[in-house]
């Protein structure tokens, strides 16, 4: 039975138990309350009288069509409509598009007006990809496997065969009589489709990373799996053979072939997109020719002539750089592709096909979008077929649909099984709500205003009026000539539409909450007012509405419906796992009375059963239900999750909860009524490498820096000390008392660990590339610096390491093993290089060994070099004569993985494989092919070292794992270490003795900074949502929590902050400044808001000023407030009278203003992609730019002290810029940081940086420019 049936069963039993409280409730309320709004047809059927029994709805209606009934206790699905467009293929004038679980045929004879022709029945999975061959369409249907559809009649496409594949069918390509299916976690599946009615799997390639896409030519399949590209010989389909595999510049999510090139798109580790071009002229030797970074998340690519057209889905980079969903790249020179055009159509571009001068995009919820690309430099949209339904209203046989950015559509539903689009109007706004008062439809949405559409001719709806003084329209009701708008924080607005072309406001009532829903009956407006429950407004005099009554209720109420004397109030479930419908008697509007509550559970991610208990993982944690009485489940226990419980597994009396960013939580459920947390596993960074000396393990832990772990008792490893290094700790070598860390773009860091409990940085040496590994021998450190090659650094004075030599092969250097007078270099596809370092100032290559894979790791012992050779596994090279290495032998039948690192002990090599985990390889006879002894652990293994009979594995986000290998044939897990981090540093403010850190999910943390080198946490304040911004003034701290609320805390006693007051901000709190007893809030879409906090227990809004952009930053100096207003640039506001702020002037910056700082008469503006701008504000009415500093990335954080500006871009370095001559700013320092700077504060000679992954970083200033890194990083308790 479908889930809708189960929901119906529960609804029926609850209704019986509570006296049928839902009798008479409108379907509109039920759908909104229970998340069923997307079931358009159910709404259509309800409106037509087809849905509902007399018992269920007590409407007196009986189903006019006996074939369409809703039986007592469950809903029967009679149709399906809608779903995201993810896949697209063209055949002549017909486009075949996946729309949710259906394949739809569209006529594109007129590209500007695509017309639906026909569609399949709903398939058992969402259509992910489609490939055409004559009269057949081969459909990758996700969990529905491979489906084969006869498309000879496009008006009646019909499935004729299918093959259930393991995993999820994500992509399909054809090679003769075989379909090749990319099956996610189940690799490549090869299916014989010679008889399309009975397809059968004949072969597979498993053990790959997540398999995204596949392309085929001749007897080769090219497979994108994770960040790897595989060339697979499928001449014998039952026995496919991997011929080559290479790494590409990011995930290989979309592939297409053109000539001798394979074009690959996806996204990389920084969440940018990429277009990578690979030469496949020799499939056994793939060669990457070039890679171009793109803004977005590359999903699909099509190549025609000299141009590649990339469908860019939504990605992280969109948030900071804006949208480029369709990107055009000139690939006439495959060695140097160049972006030449871009266009941002609606929706989320997922697939693309080109025909003539038109690009056809499967644009997710926006459906099909058609773009004219006759001029590749200036693509433009000419048509679309949307498929996203946000609201619906019914009149007669027509359904009126709110389609988001695609406007309003009119659908003929005379035949509910075959609804037909009759007309559509694009409104240039995002439409989420619709109300009918024929011949007009009143529509609106977020930042859309109220729009009036004439629908007298359903085939040609047209906008006739607009009232734009109301920004946000959450709900609409109409009565007579008046339209009632639930306008969020603007309350209830009453619009006179007697002249539709010129609507005017007749009156308004400012409700205390956020008006989200409205219904009108009997001279009253009933408003669902968010957290303020129900408000009943007397509107008999529309010009002077007054509140007649109210009903307070816990929850966040978003919709309301009225029938007779009863009202039904729907809770969306904000901040609570329970969403409910409250049944209210409003026969006396001045005294509403609640009669009952019907509850429904929201925010659930996973469910599992053990005996008589049901375990529900959801938005706020784990809930345990006693289901011994199946019809009446009773909650008996719960556990509040720090983040978002995504999944739960039960073993014995223990529950394991996957809690998103908060890691794995382990709960004892011996008593289900009192589930108790007994363990937690969290890692803010990722264990990358490990080196062992004696009983100490030195772990390179990514953004968490260097961790020193005592492994004296392998089953109980204990952290001795830690130091968060600049950059990203990737590799480590130890030569006590020093540890040497390869820190990515921060180069080589030398750490004094003489006192393991308090390691300190002794010195560092910058490298030109990205330091990933290091080997130390004598007074020299040899650094594997990727594109920077091999760097030789003299560390005889650890406090002043100096680079003295370098070796730069044409391939990136991944690892190095030093055995003077030689260094052995793992150079990826360049194989193993032997370098003479007898003269460290002039290292010289003496030999090169081509290995079959990609040399990623190397160690040397006993005249042999042991190479972790990527997909080829372990290779052993005889280097007894380093100038003439010989006899390369590699593993036979190595499973498809990525050998990353290798360590030796006795006759065994321990192989760390980043895909497959840890393996033990018997190397008793190094001159013979090594034999893989046993697979120890699945998962990620990035680094490995040996300690006697133990192997210590750097296992990425799983931390450090310790294995007992006394019996290599039967290894045993002995211990694990993972670095805990409570939050992600978002903001910091400094007082003389204390630092106040807004630490994301860890709330507010109060740090004693008397000794800044060793801060001590003294107190804190837990928050429900992420602590994001904080400032302190006097004895109060002002804290923005999750953009939702301002919390005012008394910090007179820093160890025990006490909440004094709160002001709700409804997701619009981005920044704040405090001046006296006024708080100035940067409030996103609502501009500047000014609060009176003279009584901290009762903060109140005293004024607001709307701005043209999106306000994210604010600073106040004297009588002026300076706002960073996104696309609105810099706004200067006169706040001499805080109750009446007035804009005095503005500067239209070239980028997107994010944050602002001021020094004297100069404002420093972090301007997104516009870099750093210096603006003279001596005349506030006429600000003028006097200088700028261009830097890469999205500049979003800035602080200033005197003539020095501290500025950072998203994911970039901290830069120090001298603006003593503002027209000629000069960079004087650059410091690599772990992740993304969120805030910078300056106090005296110290700089405090809140870094999202690196925690709180404290620097001291030496002289004017040099920033020295202090070992003062707050990440864990």
Name the more confident of 328 and 400: 328
Is the model's pLDDT at 550 over the cut of 90?
yes
- Which residues, at least 6 apart from 1137, have a Cβ–Cβ distance to it below 8 Å? none
Name the more confident of 1245 and 512: 512
pLDDT band at residue 806 under the 50/70/90 scheme: very high
The label of the residue with tokens 């409250």 reads 582
Name the more confident of 39 and 1010: 1010
1064 and 1146 in a single domain? The answer is: yes
* Interior angle at CA 419, CA 417 and CA 422, nearest 5: 165
964 and 1012 in a single domain? The answer is: no
State residue 1067's pLDDT score.
Answer: 64
State residue 1082's pLDDT score.
Answer: 94
190 exposed, middle or buried (CB, 10 Å; 0-12, 13-18, 19+)?
buried
Work out the angle between the directed axes of helices 27-34 and 40-48 (0-180°, nearest 10): 160
The label of the residue with tokens 């005249």 reads 863
Domain final residue, candidates 951, 977, 1003: 977
- Give backbone dihedrals phi and psi of 214, rounded to 5 degrees, phi first: -145, 140
pLDDT band at residue 100 under the 50/70/90 scheme: confident
* Interior angle at CA 517, CA 512 and CA 522, nearest 5: 95
The residue among 527, 510, 507 whose CA lies nearest residue 518 is 527
945 and 1070 in a single domain? The answer is: no
CA–CA dist 3, 937 (Å, integer): 37
Mean pLDDT value across residues 829-836: 93
Is the model's pLDDT at 794 over the cut of 50?
yes
- Give backbone dihedrals phi and psi of 1104, rounded to 5 degrees, phi first: -150, 150
Q: Are 1047 and 1023 in contact (CB under 8 A)?
A: yes
Torsion of CA 1023, 1028, 1032, 1037, to 10 degrees: -20
CA–CA dist 1068, 62 (Å, integer): 47
966 and 1026 in a single domain? The answer is: no
Q: Are 1130 and 1108 in contact (CB under 8 A)?
A: no
Q: Is residue 32 part of a domain?
A: no
Q: Are 821 and 860 in contact (CB under 8 A)?
A: no
CA–CA dist 461, 838 (Å, integer): 82
CA–CA dist 433, 515 (Å, integer): 14
3-state secondary structure of 1045: strand
Q: Is residue 1070 part of a domain?
A: yes
State residue 894's pLDDT score.
Answer: 53
Structure tokens, 112:
């500007």
CA–CA dist 838, 536 (Å, integer): 88
pLDDT in tens, 503-526: 999 999 999 999 988 989 999 999
Structure tokens, 1254:
């690196």
3-state helix, strand, coil split of the chain in percent (to 5) is 5, 50, 45
Mean pLDDT rounded to a whole number for the chain = 77
Torsion of CA 984, 987, 989, 995, to 10 degrees: 0
The label of the residue with tokens 């296992």 reads 955
How many helices (DSSP H) and strands (DSSP E) are in the chain?
A: 5, 112
pLDDT band at residue 430 under the 50/70/90 scheme: low
182 and 263 in a single domain? The answer is: yes
792 and 863 in a single domain? The answer is: yes
CA–CA dist 208, 1250 (Å, integer): 38
Mean pLDDT comparison of 13-22, 442-451, 947-956, highest-scoring range? 442-451
CA–CA dist 85, 88 (Å, integer): 8
pLDDT in tens, 349-400: 788 888 888 888 777 655 677 888 888 877 776 655 444 455 666 677 776 7
Domain final residue, candidates 336, 369, 385: 385
CA 319 to chain CA mean position, Å: 10
pLDDT band at residue 1071 under the 50/70/90 scheme: very high
Give the helix ranges, DSSP H, for 130-248. Answer: none
920 and 1006 in a single domain? The answer is: no
3-state secondary structure 8-66: HHHHHHHHHHCCCCCCCCCHHHHHHHHCCCCCHHHHHHHHHCCCCCHHHHCCCCCCCCC
946 and 1017 in a single domain? The answer is: no
Beta strands across the sheet bearing 287-294: 254-258, 261-267, 273-279, 287-294
What are the distances in angstroms from CA 363 to CA 147, 385, 761, 1138? 22, 10, 51, 46
Q: Is residue 1192 part of a domain?
A: yes
1050 and 966 in a single domain? The answer is: no
The residue among 473, 356, 346, 453 whose CA lies nearest residue 395 is 453
Burial 281-302 (b: 16+ CB within 10 A, else e): eebeebebbbbbebbbbbbbbb
Q: Are 121 and 159 in contact (CB under 8 A)?
A: yes
Domain final residue, candidates 368, 385, 402: 385
The label of the residue with tokens 């069963």 reads 9
Structure tokens, 786:
């990727």
Segments forming the whole domain that contains residue 1205: 988-1270
202 and 176 in a single domain? The answer is: yes
State residue 923's pLDDT score.
Answer: 79
Is the model's pLDDT at 602 over the cut of 50?
no
Q: Are 1144 and 1134 in contact (CB under 8 A)?
A: yes
Mean pLDDT value across residues 188-216: 94
Q: Is residue 543 part of a domain?
A: no
| Cross-strand partners of 261 | 258, 279
pLDDT band at residue 1252 under the 50/70/90 scheme: low
State residue 1099's pLDDT score.
Answer: 93
Q: Is residue 903 part of a domain?
A: yes
3-state secondary structure of 1193: coil
State residue 35's pLDDT score.
Answer: 32
456 exposed, middle or buried (CB, 10 Å; 0-12, 13-18, 19+)?
exposed
Structure tokens, 581:
């419908």
Is the model's pLDDT at 591 over the cut of 70?
yes
State residue 965's pLDDT score.
Answer: 61
Looking at the structure of the chain, the number of domains it has is 3
Instruction: Label the pairing between strands 802-807 and 790-794.
Output: antiparallel
State residue 506's pLDDT score.
Answer: 94
State residue 962's pLDDT score.
Answer: 64
pLDDT band at residue 574 under the 50/70/90 scheme: very low
- Which residues, at least 6 apart from 631, have a Cβ–Cβ distance to it below 8 Å? 13
The label of the residue with tokens 């002229």 reads 281
Domain of 1017, CATH number, reads: 2.130.10.10
Q: Are 98 and 126 in contact (CB under 8 A)?
A: yes
CA–CA dist 1148, 305 (Å, integer): 40
User: What is the maximum span of the chain, computed from C-alpha positions, in angstroms?
Assistant: 100
Within 10 angstroms of residue 1193's Cβ, the number of other Cβ atoms is: 17
3-state secondary structure of 4: helix
Q: Is residue 816 part of a domain?
A: yes
Q: Is residue 248 part of a domain?
A: yes
951 and 1062 in a single domain? The answer is: no
Within 10 angstroms of residue 1276's Cβ, the number of other Cβ atoms is: 17
Mean pLDDT comparison of 106-115, 151-160, 1100-1109, highest-scoring range? 1100-1109
pLDDT in tens, 148-196: 999 987 877 889 999 999 989 999 999 999 999 999 989 999 999 999 9
397 exposed, middle or buried (CB, 10 Å; 0-12, 13-18, 19+)?
middle
- Which residues, at least 6 apart from 60, have a Cβ–Cβ distance to it below 8 Å? 54
What are the distances in angstroms from CA 13 to CA 8, 594, 631, 632, 918? 9, 21, 7, 8, 52
Burial 808-829 (b: 16+ CB within 10 A, else e): ebebbbbbbbbbeebbbbbbbb
Name the more confident of 958 and 233: 233
H/E run at residue 230: strand 228-233
Q: Is residue 3 part of a domain?
A: no
998 and 965 in a single domain? The answer is: no
H/E run at residue 6: helix 3-17
Name the more confident of 1173 and 38: 1173
What are the distances in angstroms from CA 374 to CA 106, 304, 332, 359, 462? 22, 12, 17, 9, 30
State residue 106's pLDDT score.
Answer: 82
pTM score:
0.38
Mean pLDDT value across residues 825-850: 93
CA–CA dist 168, 164 (Å, integer): 9
Structure tokens, 633:
């489940």
State residue 283's pLDDT score.
Answer: 94
State residue 113's pLDDT score.
Answer: 65
3-state secondary structure 274-333: EEEEEECCCCCCCEEEEEEEECCEEEEEEEECCEEEEEEECCHHHHHHCCCCEEEEECCC
Is the model's pLDDT at 1205 over the cut of 60?
yes
């Amino acid at each position: 039975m479908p889930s809708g049936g189960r929901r119906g069963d529960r609804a029926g039993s609850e209704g019986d138990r509570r006296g049928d409280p839902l009798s008479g409730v409108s379907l509109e309320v039920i759908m909104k309350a229970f998340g069923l709004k997307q079931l358009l047809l159910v709404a259509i059927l309800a409106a037509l009288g087809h849905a509902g029994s007399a018992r269920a709805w007590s409407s007196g209606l009986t189903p006019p069509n006996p074939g369409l009934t809703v039986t007592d206790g469950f809903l029967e699905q009679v149709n399906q409509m809608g779903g995201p467009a993810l896949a697209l293929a063209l055949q002549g004038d017909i486009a075949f598009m996946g729309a949710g679980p259906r394949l739809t045929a569209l006529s594109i004879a007129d590209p500007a007006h695509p017309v639906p022709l026909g569609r399949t029945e709903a398939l058992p999975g969402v259509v992910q990809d489609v490939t055409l061959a004559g009269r057949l369409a081969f459909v990758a249907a996700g969990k529905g496997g491979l489906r084969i559809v006869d498309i000879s009649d496009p008006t009646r496409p019909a499935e004729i065969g299918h093959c259930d594949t393991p995993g999820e069918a994500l992509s399909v390509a054809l090679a003769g009589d075989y379909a090749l299916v990319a099956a996610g976690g189940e690799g490549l599946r090869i299916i014989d489709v010679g008889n399309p009615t009975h397809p059968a799997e004949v072969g597979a390639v498993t053990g790959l990373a997540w398999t995204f896409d596949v392309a085929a030519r001749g007897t080769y399949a090219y497979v994108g799996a994770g960040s790897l590209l595989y060339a697979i010989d499928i001449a014998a389909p039952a026995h496919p053979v991997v011929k080559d595999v290479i790494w590409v510049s990011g995930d290989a999510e979309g592939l297409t072939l053109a000539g001798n090139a394979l074009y690959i798109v996806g996204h990389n580790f920084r969440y940018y997109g990429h277009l990578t071009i690979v030469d496949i002229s020799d499939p056994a030797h793939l060669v990457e020719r070039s890679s171009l970074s793109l803004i977005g998340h590359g999903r699909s690519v099509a190549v025609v002539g000299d141009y590649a057209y990339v469908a860019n889905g939504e990605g992280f980079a969109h948030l900071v750089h804006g949208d480029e969903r369709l990107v055009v790249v000139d690939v006439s020179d495959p060695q140097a592709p160049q972006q030449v055009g871009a266009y941002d159509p609606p929706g989320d571009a997922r697939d693309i096909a080109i025909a003539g001068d038109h690009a056809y995009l499967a644009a997710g919820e926006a459906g099909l979008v058609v773009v004219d690309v006759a001029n590749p430099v200036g693509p433009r949209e000419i048509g679309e077929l949307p498929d996203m339904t946000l609201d619906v209203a019914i009149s007669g046989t027509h359904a009126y649909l709110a389609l988001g950015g695609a406007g309003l559509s009119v659908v003929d539903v005379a035949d509910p099984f075959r609804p037909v689009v009759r007309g559509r109007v694009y409104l240039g706004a995002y439409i989420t709500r619709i109300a009918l008062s024929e011949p007009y439809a009143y529509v609106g949405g977020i930042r859309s205003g109220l729009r009036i559409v004439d629908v007298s001719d359903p085939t040609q709806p047209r906008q006739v009026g607009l009232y734009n003084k109301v920004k946000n329209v959450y709900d609409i009701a109409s009565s007579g000539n008046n339209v009632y708008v639930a306008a969020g924080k603007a309350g209830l607005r009453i619009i006179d539409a007697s002249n539709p072309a010129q609507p005017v406001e007749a009156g308004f009532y400012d409700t205390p909450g956020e008006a989200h829903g409205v219904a009108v009956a009997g001279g009253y407006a009933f408003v669902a007012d968010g957290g303020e429950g129900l408000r009943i407004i007397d509107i008999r005099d529309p010009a002077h509405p007054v509140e007649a009554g109210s009903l307070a209720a816990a929850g966040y109420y978003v919709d309301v419906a009225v029938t007779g004397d009863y009202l039904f109030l729907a809770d969306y479930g904000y901040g609570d796992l329970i969403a409910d419908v409250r049944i209210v008697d409003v026969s006396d509007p001045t005294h509403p009375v609640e009669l009952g509550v019907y509850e429904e559970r929201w925010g659930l991610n996973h469910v599992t059963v053990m005996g008589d208990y049901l375990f529900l993982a959801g938005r706020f944690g784990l809930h345990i239900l006693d289901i011994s009485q199946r019809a009446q489940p009773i909650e008996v226990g719960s556990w509040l999750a720090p983040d978002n419980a995504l999944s739960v597994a039960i073993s014995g009396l223990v529950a394991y909860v996957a809690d998103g960013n908060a890691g794995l939580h382990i709960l004892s459920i011996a008593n289900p009524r009192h589930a108790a947390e007994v363990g937690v596993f969290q890692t803010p960074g990722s264990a990358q490498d490990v080196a062992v000396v004696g009983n100490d393990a030195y772990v390179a832990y990514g953004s968490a820096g260097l961790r020193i772990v005592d492994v004296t008792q392998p089953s109980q490893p204990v952290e001795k000390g830690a130091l968060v290094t600049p950059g990203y700790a990737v590799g480590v070598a130890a030569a006590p008392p020093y540890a040497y860390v390869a820190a990515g773009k921060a180069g080589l860091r030398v750490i004094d660990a003489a006192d393991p409990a308090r390691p300190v940085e002794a010195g560092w040496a910058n490298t030109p590339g990205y330091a990933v590994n290091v080997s130390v021998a004598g007074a020299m450190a040899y650094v594997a610096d990727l594109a920077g090659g091999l760097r030789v650094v003299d560390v005889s004075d650890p406090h002043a390491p100096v680079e003295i030599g370098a070796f730069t092969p044409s391939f990136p250097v991944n690892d190095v093993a030093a055995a003077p007078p030689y260094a052995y270099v793992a150079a990826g596809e360049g194989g193993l290089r032997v370098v003479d370092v007898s003269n460290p100032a002039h290292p010289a290559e003496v030999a090169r060994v081509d290995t079959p894979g990609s040399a990623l790791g190397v160690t040397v012992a006993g005249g042999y070099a042991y190479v972790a050779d990527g997909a080829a596994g372990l290779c052993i090279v005889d280097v007894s004569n380093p100038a003439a290495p010989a006899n390369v032998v590699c593993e036979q039948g190595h499973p498809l993985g990525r050998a990353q690192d290798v360590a030796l002990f006795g006759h065994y090599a321990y192989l760390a494989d980043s895909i497959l985990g840890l393996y033990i390889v018997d190397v008793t006879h190094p001159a013979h092919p090594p034999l893989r002894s046993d697979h120890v652990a699945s998962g990620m293994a990035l680094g490995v070292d040996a300690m006697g009979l133990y192997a210590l594995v750097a296992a990425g986000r799983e931390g450090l794992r310790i294995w007992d290998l006394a019996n290599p044939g039967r290894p045993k897990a002995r211990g694990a270490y993972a670095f805990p981090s409570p939050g992600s540093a978002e903001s910091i403010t400094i007082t003389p003795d204390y630092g106040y850190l807004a630490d994301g999910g860890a709330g507010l943390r109060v740090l004693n900074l008397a000794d800044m080198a060793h801060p001590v946490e003294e107190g804190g304040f837990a928050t429900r949502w992420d602590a994001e911004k904080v400032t302190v003034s006097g004895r109060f701290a002002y804290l923005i929590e999750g953009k939702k609320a301002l919390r005012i805390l008394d910090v007179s006693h820093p160890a025990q902050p006490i909440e004094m007051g709160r002001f709700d901000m409804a997701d619009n709190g981005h920044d704040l400044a405090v001046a006296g007893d006024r708080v100035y809030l940067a409030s996103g879409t609502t501009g500047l808001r000014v609060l009176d906090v003279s009584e901290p227990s009762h903060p109140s809004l005293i004024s607001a000023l709307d701005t043209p952009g999106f306000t994210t930053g604010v600073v106040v100096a004297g009588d002026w407030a300076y706002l960073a207003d996104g696309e609105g640039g810099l706004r200067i506001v006169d706040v001499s009278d805080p109750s009446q702020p007035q804009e005095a002037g503005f500067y239209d910056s070239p980028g997107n203003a994010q944050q602002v700082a001021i020094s004297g008469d100069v404002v420093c503006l972090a301007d997104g992609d516009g870099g750093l701008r210096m603006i003279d504000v001596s005349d506030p009415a006429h600000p003028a730019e006097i200088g700028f500093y261009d830097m890469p990335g999205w500049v979003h954080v800035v602080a200033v002290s005197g003539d020095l500006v501290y500025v950072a871009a998203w994911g970039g370095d901290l830069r120090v810029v001298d603006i003593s001559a503002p027209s000629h700013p000069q960079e004087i320092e650059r410091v690599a940081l772990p992740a993304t700077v969120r805030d910078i504060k300056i106090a005296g000679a110290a700089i405090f940086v809140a870094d999202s992954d690196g925690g709180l970083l404290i620097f001291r200033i030496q002289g004017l420019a040099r920033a020295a890194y202090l070992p003062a990083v707050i990440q864990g308790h």
